[in-house]
Structure 1
Amino acid sequence: MYVATKGGERAIEAAHAWLAEERRGDPAVPELSLAQIREQMALAVNRVMAEGSLFDPDLAALAIKQARGDLIEAIFLIRAYRTTLPRFGASLPIATEDMAITRRVSATFKDIPGGQILGPTFDYTHRLLDFKLAAEGAPVPTAACKPADADPAPHILALLDRDELMEPLEHSDATPPDLTREPLEMPAERALRLQALTRGDEGFVLSMAYSTQRGYGRTHAFVGELRIGRCAVEMDIPELGFSVEIGEVELSECETVNQFTGSKTEPPQFTRGYGLVFGQNERKAISMSLVDRALRWQELGEDDTGAPAQDAEFVLYHCDNIQATGFLEHIKLPHYVDFQSELELIRRLRRDAKATQQEAAQ
């Protein structure tokens, strides 16, 4: 327990006032609106929603503004707010095959049903600073060509499923555990691992995925399909006897095709990795699918190579940036008593060592 020193409350109030001043910046510069953040910093908003486990672009934009652009602080704010919300029920599983797609690519097949849709992506840009964006009153880009509403696009891995070249999909009617309501416990089943990766820090999950590509985890993945779009969310209403649509969410989904497995009784089949995350967040979805596959080594009968990405406890307990931030930043708080005890100990040890040296010299 930390005891506030005299004048601490006044100092904290002054710090809050200073923070508000710094957050606002130069009053001569127009203040950012939530709409501007939501519409022009959409990828940051998407990350905050994904790692904060709450799909609400306006609240995510507010959190980013309040946090001065510190996305981890914004994620913390969203998670804290989320705990205050009442829970009315659970939605039905989302049917991503019915997604209204804005981007859909496959690295395994060139010609796919419905075609490849490049969508809004940085993949084909030159990564050169566009100084036109710095010009005041820069012209608004003309409307891009967007795909017209199309029939639902089947998942591309269904082509491999049809020929029994993919491991069978897992099906269960059991309600999966909810990581937002119960703490993570080991061993964690796949549904729980996927939840942890979905809200895990993008940079951490990315580095774990990269490590598997460099050989620490022995997975060689192909992107079977990456799709981004909006999905309807439905909820069963017992009084009505049927489900109703209550809204829609934007999602990024990635399915990877990985090295095959087999046995004396089972023919070789490709294995799966899976990633699903709020918003246009494809780097996170791809990273998640690679780490998901690496964590499945035991259920697929593979050897433990000792790679970090194969260690579920290491990955899942360290991917949460809010827990990591809390534990890291608590060392900024007063530790006067602890340090004084350490200081006294090392002084006593030095006195004892000096006395021993003097005795040995006599």
Structure 2
Amino acid sequence: MYVAVKGGERAIDNAHAWLAEERRGDLAVAELSLAQIREQLRLSVNRVMAEGSLFDPDLAALAIKQARGDLIEAIFLIRAYRTTLPRFGYSYPVDTGRMTCDRRISATFKDAPGGQVLGPTFDYTHRLLDFKLAADGGEVAKATTATAREDDTPHIASMLQAENILQEEPHSDQEPKDITRRPMSFPSDRATRLQALARGDEGFLLGLAYSTQRGYARNHAFVGELRIGRVPVEMEIPELGFSIEIGEVELSECETVNQFKGSKTEPPQFTRGYGLVFGQAERKAIAVALVDRALRWQELGEDNLGAVSQDEEFVLSHCDNIQATGFLEHIKLPHYVDFQAELELVRKLRANSMTDEENEA
């Protein structure tokens, strides 16, 4: 047993060394710096921060480098590191109405108050490979930016609410549960669901959101507003007796406007889905909003159409890519004893089956 353990340790050490070698790649090629990853792979950095539940672009860049570009592995690293950090307190809820928007669009109103700000987006590109990027030192066109000021960007939802045709969002002073400290239970409230969706796997949520649009839930949605920008974060300092601004975070926020024919308790009106995630992650924010709306069927008095996106326990229990990865990848680890037990069982079953056949003959 001792020899087997020592042999296993040597094999693992060699695997780690080989991994480091593969991570570095060809030594003739310059090594990636964290600044390069942070600045030039920002969408990957944003995803790692969002699903890792930690807003720190430098640490996210480090995790991406360490994980060789495997974003789920990078998210795992960030989550693991996050558990070691002390918690000094809680910030106030951010006010996205104060957002300084780099991108702010509405698919429902052309002339939205505050204007449409297209911002940095792939939406209007031709999806053709740009071989200029393969040339070292290629010139970068300087954009004339038009960032919306924080006092110029009222939420589109306020226009619909003024007409009383958009359902009011319920307000509560109850402190939301923190799913990073307390496990989820079912049924869950909307705040808990939105937390889980915000750090859920983008690909999984994208598939669910797409399914709602194809008819696997009642979800005919318009993007009422999508905004991306920076929001100040405030925290109360007990020693001072008042709150101060401790920094700002970049967020993507999406509010969808959905048809609602009414129920026994609610008149016909529009309802909404909501998504809020770290960084520029608009696809994720839209997906979260669509899935959020699908999960609201019960509180709105709608029928359950049997769509998987309406199954709260299924969605929230399977959207976390770290839990999914851990359970999926554990099957590649040694299961020698379990397999040998099943092997013996199958052999006995086969032997008994052949004996029965012989007796019948």
User: In structure 2, what residue type is equivalent to 1:95?
Assistant: D
Describe how 1:73-92 pairs up with structure 2 within 5 A.
73-92=73-92
Report whether the alignment pairs 1:233 with 2:228: no
Aligned to 2:62: 62
User: In structure 2, what residue type is equivalent to 1:121?
Assistant: T
Describe how 1:181-330 pairs up with structure 2 within 5 A.
181-263=181-263, 266-330=266-330
Post-superposition offset of 1:185 = 1.4
Aligned to 2:20: 20
Aligned to 2:94: 94
CA 1:351–1:103 in 2, change beyond 3 Å: closer, same or farther?
Answer: same
Post-superposition offset of 1:262 = 2.5
Deviation string 1:38-96 (CA, Å, 9 cap, x unpaired) is 00000000000000000000000000000000000000000000000000110001010
Aligned to 2:338: 338
CA contact (8 A) 2:261 2:268 kept: yes
Runs of 4+ aligned structure 1 residues displaced above 6 Å come to none
Structure 2 residue matching 1:16: 3-state secondary structure = helix
User: In structure 1, what residue type is equivalent to 2:19?
Assistant: L
Q: List gaps (5 residues or longer) in structure 2.
A: none
TM-score, normalised with respect to structure 2:
0.97
User: In structure 2, what residue type is equivalent to 1:62?
Assistant: L
Deviation string 1:247-295 (CA, Å, 9 cap, x unpaired) is 1000000000001242456432111100000000000000000000000
What is the rounded CA distance, in whole Å, between the counterparts of 2:292 and 2:265 in structure 1? 25
Structure 2 residue matching 1:228: 3-state secondary structure = strand
Q: Aligned pair count?
A: 359
What is the rounded CA distance, in whole Å, between the counterparts of 1:4 and 1:148 in structure 2? 64
CA contact (8 A) 2:263 2:301 kept: no
CA 1:265–1:320 in 2, change beyond 3 Å: closer, same or farther?
Answer: closer
What is the rounded CA distance, in whole Å, between the counterparts of 1:266 and 1:13 in structure 2? 63
User: In structure 1, what residue type is equivalent to 2:319?
Assistant: C
TM-score, normalised with respect to structure 1:
0.97
CA 1:148–1:113 in 2, change beyond 3 Å: closer, same or farther?
Answer: closer
Post-superposition offset of 1:149 = 4.1
CA RMSD of aligned residues (A): 1.4
What is the rounded CA distance, in whole Å, between the counterparts of 2:166 and 2:357 in structure 1? 71
CA 1:293–1:61 in 2, change beyond 3 Å: closer, same or farther?
Answer: same
What is the rounded CA distance, in whole Å, between the counterparts of 1:121 and 1:264 in structure 2? 42
Aligned to 2:45: 45
Deviation string 1:287-324 (CA, Å, 9 cap, x unpaired) is 00000000000000011111000000000000000000
CA 1:351–1:315 in 2, change beyond 3 Å: closer, same or farther?
Answer: same
Aligned to 1:165: 165
What is the rounded CA distance, in whole Å, between the counterparts of 1:194 and 1:268 in structure 2? 25
Structure 2 residue matching 1:7: 3-state secondary structure = helix
User: In structure 1, what residue type is equivalent to 2:131?
Assistant: F
Report whether the alignment pairs 1:113 with 2:102: no
Post-superposition offset of 1:202 = 0.0
Percent of aligned pairs with the same residue? 75
Report whether the alignment pairs 1:103 with 2:108: no
What is the rounded CA distance, in whole Å, between the counterparts of 1:155 and 1:287 in structure 2? 19
Q: List gaps (5 residues or longer) in structure 1.
A: none
CA contact (8 A) 2:226 2:282 kept: yes
Aligned to 2:33: 33
